[in-house]
Structure 1
Amino acid sequence: MEELERIKSGIPGLDEMCGGGLIQGTVTIVAGHFGTGKTLSGLQFLKEGLKNGEKCIFISFVENPSDILKFYDILKTDWKLDINKGNLLVLPANIFKIDVLLCSLKKLLSREKITRVFIDEIPLAFEKKVKISGNINKMLKALKKNEISSFFTTTISKKEDVLTLGNISFLKLTDNIAVMRRMEKGNDIVNFITILKVRGSIHDAKSREIRLTKEGLEIYAGKKESDGEQIPDVLPVSDLSYYIWHFSPEDERINKIVKGFCLKNTNINVCRVERDKQTDIGEFYFDSNHDFLGIIGKYITTPDTSLGLVCLPYGKVYQYAGEGMLMNVDSFIDKSDYLEESVESCSYNDKLYGVPFTVGCKSLMYRKDLLEKYKINVPETWDELMNAEQYILNKENDPALQGVSFQWEETEEIVSIFLGFIWGNNGDIFDSRSNIIADERIISALECMKKVLSKYRVLPENKMHMFSDNVNNFFLRKSIFLIARAELIEIAFGWDKTPLGNSLGSIKEDIAIAPLPKMEKSSKMHGLVQGSALCIPKNTKDPKSAGLFLKYMISEEISKKITLINWPFPAKISLWKDKEILNKRSYYASAENILKDCRGINKEIKSCPEIKYLIREKLLQIINEEKKPGEAWESLAKDVKELLKRNAVYKKIAERVISYTAKRYNDKEFYKSLLTEIGLSPHYLQRIFKIETGMTISNYLIKIRIEKAKELLKDVKYNIGDVAQKVGYSDSVFFSKLFKKYTKYTPTGYRAKY
């Protein structure tokens, strides 16, 4: 019998698993989890062929192959030179136009002596579509007919049973099948490869570890250094998750952006945090009833969390930064590139804890066609707005036409609305000594707000969310004005999530956006800045990788790509004037005018959220006519004064506890001596500390002791028992269990890793 010719795969260790190499002319498919190195393995297959003077083809269903090759310097191959010489042909592919690819491929095979083909990321999701599946089968048959060695990759989810891959129809034409998986091994995430099938060979069926070295992927056979074989110089693989609630997990444009980072950083695997089974994490932005801290907060507070990047609203950035949950990111940006108020909203004690991602505020949207028809200027004050509305309603004489619609999502919004009225009346809430101001401007602002909200029936119990009839009516030409978040104008520009569908017609030509009305034209401050920021949890297990991912996401190139997909105003000022972006969203030209005089609530209202809560309660009393404006505001001034006085006392007590803990954390009778030092009852002291820090004294003590233990474990002169004693634990077994609970590592494991 004639001996079958074998070729090298270019992946050290794989040929040995396949009985000496792949047989010439066979079809190999590698299915694997995201980030296991499938693309890299295929490129090593091509590199081996090019090294031997073979002609090869690279096809990708994900993006242009030339763009992919830019990120694979690790293989030390001049891909561009091979392309220019005609040794490497690159073909981008579309799964829905696979017949076009098949035609192009057949022409190439007829005129070129191709020996190797690498096809990256055939999407299994479309395999059941008869036409697509049939064309994939034709492509495989063409490759086999021409005796071309081909290498395919495809992605499978971690939840899929890889052993059922044989149910996929086109795999019947596949000669060799391998599966790459990510699995937990101790405290690490490790990639493994399993050979399911090798035609014409006896193969190694054991799962073997895949290692990323400075030369590319290598399959590690499990030999020890003592066996005479040197363990390769391995690049550590990092698993990183992210959650940016603006993006749908099904949006391939965003997935492509994230994959671009992974291609540049082959040792970092990035994936999106899966949605909570009960509640979509993203819903917190639209519904205050969802406990956001309870959903995403569990990832942020978990020690050594895989969460590397999270998008938070400005208010949450301030809250979590105050609780010590976020990393400082001052070094990541030039603050002058961003709206000043968005930077201040993402800062705590003058340090930046979130890179501003989106920015916006309440604004006035108006029917440009109606204002032009009656030669009315865009209203700048509330009086002008109400007069313009009444005039147009009288002229139009249309019973179905409304004057002003409001977007009102939650009762907490009443505080931001009120701030707009105060600032729009050249007023302020606090004086330079943080005392509540009670003057005519405050009272007149309260009365004007009550008048407006009553006239347009904006009641606290009526939530007018993003897709309420009250909002939709404006985009359906049933109202003249809309008070809403500025970015909702995107509905008119074809936002694919709007339930209004195609009923909008050409409304975008007839509407425009302007700053929120004021009480006095001379006022400058007229809106409360809102938005979101990209943050790195302080507990992330790989800060370096998280930092690289953040830098990638906020780079000029990626920021622009995201802005072309995402609809809120970007926080980076330069993007407001980008011609390509303006061509898609012309209303971005209004961003500077709308946002330039906005203010941030964290800067304006001290001791948030307590004062916000007090203001809200007093405002609701005024709207519900339970108290007159002057009476309610006088009561608020007294309550805030007491609150600030209490907070000053509480702050000093919490600072004393923190200072004492830093000095006496290793005291075996810590609590007893702490109570003696502070001189308060246990219950009262715990309550004060929890209010000020968000933590119990017990949890804070454990946190300090664990951090000190980490430092001591790096010094090999201390055994585990010594470390336990030095941080305040006489029982080393208890200490070890506690250490593992909070770090996911045993003390010995932590010492070995770090």
Structure 2
Amino acid sequence: MNVKAGKDIKLLRSKKRIYPLLKRIKSGIPGLDKMFRGGVFNGNIVLVEGDPGAGKTVLGLQFILEGLKSDESCIYISFMEDPSRALQYFNFSKVDFTKYIKNHRLSLIPSDLKNIKNLSKLLKKLLSTSHIFRVFIDNLPVLSRKDRYAEYLPEMVKILREYNVTTVITTTLSKESGDPRRESTMMPEMADCIIKMKQIQKENKIIKTLVILKSKGIAGDSDVKLVEINESGMKISGNFKNNDKQLVNANTGKGLEVNIPFEEGILSKILSGFKEKYPEVTIARSENITSAVSYVPYSTVNNMAVDGLLLSLDTCIDKELFSREALDACSIDGKLYGIPDDFNCRCLLYRKDLLEKYSLPVPADWDSVISTSKLILKKENNPDLTGVSFPFGDGISLVELFLELVWSNGADIYDLKGNTLLEDIRILEALELLRDLVLKYKLTSEDIWNLYNKGIREKMTNGSLIFGFTYPELIKELYDSNSIFKDKIWFAPFPKMSKGEMGYAVIAGAAYIIPKNIKNQEAAVNFVKYVTGNEIAKEIEARGGWPFPSRISFWADEVILKKKPYYAEAGKIARSCVNPYNKIKNYRLFSLITQKEIVKVLKGEQEPQKGIKILNDKLKKLKRFKLHHKIVEKTMAYLENNLGKTHYIKSIAQEVKISPKYLQIIFKLETGMCIIEYLNELRVNRAKLLLKNYKYNVREAALKVGCSNMTYFGRLFKKKTGILPNEYRLED
């Protein structure tokens, strides 16, 4: 039956079905059910994302065909073209779909976004009156929450779940949630299973791959598989090997792997434009940080540069065009190792409407933040209203906050010769202020130890917070969605303390890097120059931004400012940015040591004076035993870069070339914790980041941080965070 969305149609009547729980459904694709340990469950919604031509439609039609062969009734919906036309091109296995259409076993529905509301109504009518087992929705456009048709998507999913219909939905490669510049798409979080299909270029042909990114309730096979499509249809033909020497990669010939997580439209334009300019270079997309060109956070630039892994990019750009602070964040000892794209830092987000209501100025110093908070809390008399909030839940952010207060009070941790300055009263005042905000003034919320940047943004938009110290991407989100809150919330630079000239904050952002050990450096450098050129950079900025561009001219560009008026504040924010890696040479080790002492102070377990004294003694030891902290830094870098491996003290000691016993002694001496304890901290912190990304289920996150025992991983995660991994995933 061929029907149109929105049209009244005659349907066969039957009683609503009740499915048995957790019944496995055959996909019809040889090898795929094995990856799902027997198949997906009935009623599952399976999202298949991938490049055009990767085989998504073939997978969906083969799924429908399997149902038809089992005497099931099915629906095929296409958002791209008339489904009857699509069947003519995918008539594999010599199957005649016409007979299924004539006997009303297969319903075809052409649709588009304008008719998605009517489509939901039609689906409900079909499912309530016909005995439908499977639905295939092809080429569903990628929708984010701000899209005008997005409100109808949850309704359609709700209907599919209500009637327990197993559904396959295909879409073009969706926006990767791991990059902070991106808006989140809606469909991945609604899907029970996610399959990603991809095309990778060989020297003379394209190969197709498939990987399961999410499998609810199923310990699916997470290995990347090769996909074969021929006249018999699609099948999984074995594991894909990254070290296949026939593949174009960053280390062979004129091939170039790039790891740039931009949206599909702009990335395709970048790659095709570069290919047109350099036709001799073969480009392949990758998700590997060791690709010839990668787009990574500033912290990764610094860590890899310190470890001697990056190529210097000093001659790739005109530095006068970029923010000095952003360049400094990508530089070590005066050499540029990353070309900055965007930058960000912690700011003072404030309720503009409340300040205007009581005719109060925006606080420029911490005394004003405290007095203004107290005044508004008293006048509002709202028990749900909080004065000040920080991202305490993240230990790294806690250390950054301490440093920001130290710098904003005119002090520093080290002098130019590397001597510690913690005896400076201004450093003690910074820690006392942090302590007093929590324990004395009672201006923070009670859940501070579980509060992350996202939670602070939510408190700002639900009206329960006056001042939030977090990244200002909230402002970007408000303008992108044209929210009513965009006129109620604004931002200012980090406030200064009484003895400081201005406020300072740790800079964050993303940059392009090139690993040192690749062979095709010339092609990689040409690509970086191309993608950071003004024309391409401006187009990228028009579509993204996180939230400020590092290129100075964009701060005053009239076209960009019409869409993003907050860019006018970029210069002020940039002047307050500081790169801690340049001010503190052993920053990773410093951060680890400092975090433990700050937590004790903020929990009231020790006085600030004692915390500073202990910290000072530990930092002096680092300077006294330079060889020791170099070994510890090398150990930390090795563990961070190889987190997915199984580690033993003996193997770690071999990497840093000292005896296992000596390594354990100096690591404990320098950090105050044993290696395994540090490794577990690292695992849990990395797992938190992975669990925020819809691509990874709990099992996959555990494996990526080196935990193959799920019971042990669950216990470890709960010990460090207070909740289980699946609870954290849902909560955040």
TM (norm. structure 2) is 0.52
Report the counterpart of residue 534 of structure 2 in structure 1: 556
Q: Structure 2 matches for 1:498-647, cutoff 5 A?
A: 505-520=483-498, 522-568=500-546, 569-647=548-626
Deviation at 1:690, TM superposition (A): 12
CA distance in 2, matches of 1:654, 1:530: 22
1:268-326 Cα deviation digits (max 9, x unpaired): 3434325xxxxxxxxxxxxxxxxxxxxx5xx52xxxxxx11112222221211122221
Q: Is the 8 A contact 2:586 2:633 kept in 1?
A: no
1:465 to 452, 458, 479: 452
Using the alignment, how far apart are the partners of 2:244 and 2:631 within structure 1?
Answer: 44
Change (3 A) 1:602 1:460: farther
State whether structure 2 residue 249 is matched by structure 1 residue 264. Answer: no
Quote the residue 2:433 is aligned against.
448
Alpha-carbon spacing, 1:161–1:367, altered in 2? closer, same or farther (3 Å): same
The SS at the match of 1:331 is coil
Aligned counterpart, 1:481 = 467
Structure 1 residue 239, shift from structure 2 partner: 3.4
Contact 1:308 1:540 in 2 (8 A): yes
Aligned pairs for 1:306-321 within 5 A: 307-321=291-305
**Aligned-partner Cα distance in 2 for 1:267–1:460:** 57
CA distance in 1, matches of 2:658, 2:591: 30
Residue 254, structure 1, aligned to residue 267, structure 2: yes
RMSD value, Cα:
4.3
TM-aligned CA deviation for residue 685 of structure 1: 8.7
* Match of residue 405 from structure 2: 421
1:385 is matched with which residue: 356, 369, 387? 369
Question: Cα distance, 1:556 vs. partner?
Answer: 0.6
Determine if contact 1:528/1:601 at 8 Å carries over to the other structure: yes
Give the match for residue 260 of structure 2: 244
In the alignment, residue 252 of structure 1 is paired with which amino acid?
G
AA aligned to 1:316 is: T
Deviations 1:6-30 (A, max 9, x none): xxxxxxxxxxxxxxxxxxxxxxxxx
Structure 2 unaligned blocks of 5 or more: 1-51, 56-79, 81-110, 115-137, 142-166, 169-205, 211-226, 235-239, 635-656, 671-732
Residues 408, 542 of structure 1: CA spacing in aligned structure 2 closer, same or farther, 3 A cutoff?
farther
Aligned length: 434
CA displacement, residues 328-383 of structure 1 (integer Å, 9 cap, x when unaligned): 11111122322222222212232211111221110011122221222111011122
Contact 1:407–1:485 (Cα < 8 Å) also in 2: no
The answer to whether the 8 A contact 2:301-2:338 is kept is yes
TM-superposition CA deviations, 1:695-739 (whole Å, max 9, x none): xxxxxxxxxxxxxxxxxxxxxxxxxxxxxxxxxxxxxxxxxxxxx
Q: Is contact 1:184-1:190 (8 Å) kept?
A: no
The residue correspondences of 1:353-368 to structure 2 (distance < 5 A) are 353-368=337-352
Matched-pair contact (CA < 8 Å) for 1:424–1:524: yes
Distance 2:246 2:535 in 1: 33
Tell me how far apart the structure 2 counterparts of residues 265 and 33 of structure 1 sit (CA, whole Å): 25
Letter of the 1:570 partner, please give it.
P
CA distance in 1 between counterparts of 2:392 and 2:295 reads 23
- The 2-side partners of 1:386 and 1:458 are apart by 14
- Checking the alignment, whether the CA contact within 8 Å between 1:327 and 1:537 is kept in structure 2 is yes
Q: Structure 1: which amino acid aligns with 2:477? A: I
Query: What SS does the aligned partner of 1:364 have?
Result: strand
Match of 2:320 in 1: 336
CA contact (8 A) 1:525 1:599 kept: no
Tell me, yes or no, if the aligned pair for 2:407 and 2:500 is still in contact at 8 Å: no
**Could you tell me which residue of structure 2 aligns to residue 490 of structure 1?**
476
Give, in angstroms, the shift of residue 190 of structure 1. 7.9
Cα deviation per residue 1:579-623 (whole Å; 9 max; x = unaligned)? 111111111111111221322101221322112222222212211
Mapped to 1, the partners of 2:419 and 2:446 lie a distance apart of 29
Residue 396 (structure 1) shift: 3.0
Aligned-pair CA distance for 1:643: 0.9
Verify the 8 A CA contact 1:553 1:559 in the aligned structure 2: yes
Task: Please tell me whether the aligned partners of residues 248 and 282 of structure 2 are also in contact (alpha carbons under 8 angstroms).
Answer: no
Q: 1:237–1:269: 8 Å Cα contact kept in structure 2?
A: no
TM superposition shift of 1:535: 0.4
- Cα distance, 1:480 vs. partner? 2.3
Structure 2 distance, partners of 1:538, 1:96, is 48
CA drift of 1:164 comes to 4.7
Shift of 1:446: 1.2
3-state SS of paired residue (1:626): coil
Gaps in structure 1 of 5+ consecutive residues: 1-30, 35-60, 62-94, 99-123, 130-154, 168-181, 192-235, 275-295, 301-306, 496-503, 656-679, 693-754
Residue pair 1:367, 1:480 contacting (<8 A) in 2 also: yes
Q: In structure 2, do the counterparts of structure 1 residues 409 and 358 end up closer, same or farther at CA, with 3 Å as the change threshold? A: farther
Check whether the contact 2:493–2:503 (CA below 8 A) recurs between aligned residues.
no
Distance 1:473 1:652 in 2: 43
Is the contact made by 1:406 and 1:471 (CA closer than 8 Å) also made in structure 2? no
Partner Cα separation in structure 1 for residue 584 and residue 272 of structure 2: 41
**Helix, strand or coil: the match of 2:449?**
coil
Residue 517 of structure 2: SS of its match in structure 1?
Answer: coil
Matches within 5 A, 1:281-292: none
Counterpart residue type for residue 285 of structure 2:
R
User: One-letter code of the match for 1:616?
Assistant: Q
- After superposition, the Cα gap between the structure-2 partners of 1:463 and 1:544, relative to the gap in structure 1 and judged at 3 Å, is farther
Shift of 1:471: 2.3
Preserved CA contact (<8 Å) 1:464 1:471: no
* Contact kept? 1:311, 1:533, Cα under 8 Å: yes
Structure 2: distance between partners of 1:367 and 1:318: 35
For residues 666-719 of structure 1, the C-alpha deviation after alignment (integer angstroms, 9 at most, x for no partner) is xxxxxxxxxxxxxx9766898999999xxxxxxxxxxxxxxxxxxxxxxxxxxx
For the structure 1 residues 257 and 466, does the alpha-carbon distance in structure 2 shift closer, same or farther, using more than 3 Å as the test? Answer: farther
Displacement of 1:521 = 7.5
TM-score between the two structures when normalised by the length of structure 1? 0.51
Rounded Cα–Cα distance in structure 1 between residues aligned with 2:428 and 2:305 = 35
| Structure 1 residues 237 and 326: CA distance shift in structure 2, 3 A | closer
Q: CA deviation at 1:452?
A: 1.7
Q: Distance in 2 between matches of 1:431 and 1:388?
A: 35
SS in 1 for 2:428: helix
Give, as a single letter, the amino acid of the residue that structure 1 aligns with 2:575: K
- Name the amino acid aligned to 1:610: L
Tell me the distance in 1 between the aligned counterparts of 2:589 and 2:140.
53
Change (3 A) 1:547 1:188: farther
What is the alpha-carbon distance in structure 1 between the residues aligned to residue 302 and residue 411 of structure 2? 25
User: Which deviations, in whole Å up to 9, do the C-alpha atoms of 1:510-546 show, x marking residues without a partner?
Assistant: 2211011221275224212122221011233422222
1:254: how far off?
3.2
**Which residue in the other structure is 1:163 paired with?**
230
Rounded Cα–Cα distance in structure 2 between residues aligned with 1:685 and 1:237:
44
